[in-house]
Amino acid sequence: MKTWVTPGGVHPPENKHQSLTLPIGTLPIPEKLLIPLSQHIGTAAKPCVELGSAVLKGQKIAEAAGPVSVPMHAPTSGTISAIEHRPIAHSSGMLAPCIEITSDGKDQWQAHQGVADYKNASASTLLQAIAEAGIAGMGGAGFPSAVKLNPGHERPIHTLIVNATECEPYITADDSAIRERAAEIIEGIGILSQILGHPDNIMIGIEDNKPEAIEALEPHVQGSGISVRSFPTKYPSGGEKQLIYILTGQEIPSGGLPADIGMVCINIGTTYAIKRAIVDGEPLISRVTTMTGDACGINRNYETLIGTAVSHMLEHSQFNEERCSRLVMGGPMMGFSLTSAEVPIVKTTNCILAPSYQEIPDDEPAQPCIRCGLCAEACPVSLLPQQLFWYSQAEDYERLEAHNLFDCIECGACSYVCPSNIPLVQYYRHSKGEIQKARAEKVKSDHARQRFEFHQQRMEQAERDKEAKRAARREAAEQAKATAGAANNGAAKATAEGQSGDSAADIIAAAQARAAARKVSPEQQLAKFERSIAGAEMRLQMAEEKLTEADAQQTDEQKNILVAAVEAARQKLEQAKGRLAEHIKEHKGEQVD
């Protein structure tokens, strides 16, 4: 089976064998579980339980808030002991709203059952069940799965890619899950295929350093139309964009989504959760998390309840704090360091890494960049990291954008190879943040300026209208006077023409008034049309900007709204242009006449 080769990439020591010596284990149920209300991309869930109320395992404790959100469920039975802000696993160490459950130790399930006759259920029924089960992408981004699996009619899906790459060193959560749960995973993929209307291609992408997992999948994919594609191990092959290129040779357009080219890419752990939700009616309340690193005596995978404190995992893994150089949630390439172990495992936590100083020593001080170009050789998306670093230091945002800073996937390959130990990714994150801030401010100031300009125009227009009215009144008065005078004079002169004279004066006056009206209005109207076109153009441009700037992380829903906004603005612009064209035609016609 042909696979493609991405540019760049690195080969850090894999260090996966340590956590694969034991099967997936379970931890004792912790006394307290802390469930953050936002473990996914999108709006935080809304609590639907009271403080002190008793909950059963699997019971919903927070509702999805809006379309891009997922509900939360109790990972075990117990009582709600707190609904408040607590520290969560976030690189900034921030506090976030959480629900704390004090376990009653019984681990008692609520009554649950899967979707009845799911093999014949409609896609919307299945999507509803997935949404209700609180499933968000478990590979790291945490995008609500039901939204991802519903890209809309205008984007038919022909390829479903299941991501079993797991290219980060140390992490073996997917690998071990495949080894032990291949049948259920394949069942989950079958459900996905059903939801997506049976796409032409269904592929499982997996690196060739997982022969056991590949072997475990083989018997279950026989005759299912699913192909297992293995390819040479290289970091970061597991990035969505990279995997799609490796398997299909196609690239997702910059700023776009896989659905734009008819593809959906979903993490293999998520497919297992989907199977559990649809077939067994179990919401997402636990996941496989790798506990690894030399600072722990036990390295293995655990089926971990969501909300378990990292410290609880460490306690049961013979953790030695003295030896631990840092505590990382995620892998050694993209994971973020935790300052405290009192934070919960969430739906996206695939690994807790507690390395010793020998494994991951403290960072060396950065030396000057000599532009050696090793970073550019390692970059999987063909950027020039050394130039991005240079312009980040110079805060030259225009150059950064021209160098495609926003296509950086922050995989860390550049920093990994940098002989000068420069924390390159940190510079890029900072610059991205600054540029986004500047953009937001620009939008805000543009709005203000626009409002001000419209206000001024309106005031000027009102002034002009008043002036025009006054002029019209004055003219009418003068004309009335003149007609009165003429009538008086004419009455004496020509009695025979009396009536016709009167009417002739009327006609002249009316014609003059029309001419006067025409003299003012074409120019004014032209200006008005031009103003409205300019306004419409500005709005269209802004809408388009917003759309192009929309992050890959933004949901389809949000994107659709933006697309609709662009379309509406375009239509308004067309209308305005149409009116102007009509006006010009009319005006010309009159001149010709």
What is the distance between the alpha carbons of residues 266 and 257, in angstroms, rounded to a whole number? 13
* Nearest to other proteins of 56, 383 (CB atom): 383
Residue 175 DSSP code: H
User: Cβ closer to other proteins: 71 or 332?
Assistant: 332
* Residue 233 parent element (H or E): none
3-state secondary structure of 585: helix
Q: How far is the CB of 231 from other proteins (least distance, A)?
A: 17
Q: How far is the CB of 286 from other proteins (least distance, A)?
A: 24
Q: Give min distance, CB of 120 to other proteins, in A.
A: 39
> Taking the complex as a whole, how short is the minimal distance between the CB of residue 8 and other proteins, in angstroms?
10
Bridge-based pairing of strands 328-329 and 336-337 is antiparallel
Comparing CB distances to other proteins, the nearer of 195 and 417 is: 417
Structure tokens at 15: 């260090």
C-alpha span between 346 and 329 (Å, rounded):
10
Strand order from edge to edge, sheet including 286-292: 25-26, 300-305, 286-292, 351-353, 328-329, 336-337
| Comparison of 244 and 273: residue with beta carbon closer to other proteins | 244
CB of 467 to other proteins, least distance (A): 39
Burial class of residue 208, CB neighbours in 10 A (0-12, 13-18, 19+): exposed
Short-list 296, 242, 285, 236, CA closest to 265 = 242
CB nearer to other proteins: give 303 or 315. Answer: 315
CA distances from 342 to 3, 144, 500 (A): 43, 26, 102
Instruction: Pick the closer one to other proteins by CB: 135 or 411.
Output: 411
Closer to other proteins at the Cβ: 121 or 569?
569
CB of 567 to other proteins, least distance (A): 17
**How many Cβ atoms are within 10 Å of 328's Cβ, its own excluded?**
22
> Residue 333 CB, nearest distance to other proteins (Å)?
4
Tell me the C-alpha to C-alpha distance, in Å, between residue 195 and each of 38, 153, 528, 573.
26, 13, 51, 39
CB 205 within 8 A of CB 189: no
And the tokens for 325?
Answer: 């150089």
If the CB atoms of residues 380 and 501 are measured against other proteins, the closer one turns out to be 380
Nearer to other proteins, 72 or 327 (CB): 327
Shortest CB 426 distance to other proteins, Å: 4
Place of tokens 């459950």: 101
**Number of Cβ within a 10 Å radius of residue 290:** 31
Instruction: Give strand pairing partners of 34.
Output: 100
CB of 245 to other proteins, least distance (A): 7
For residue 29 the two structure tokens come to: 């149920």
Cα–Cα dist 474/156, whole Å: 67
Min. distance of Cβ 441 from other proteins in angstroms?
15
3-state secondary structure of 288: strand
- Nearer of residues 126 and 425 to other proteins, judged by Cβ: 425
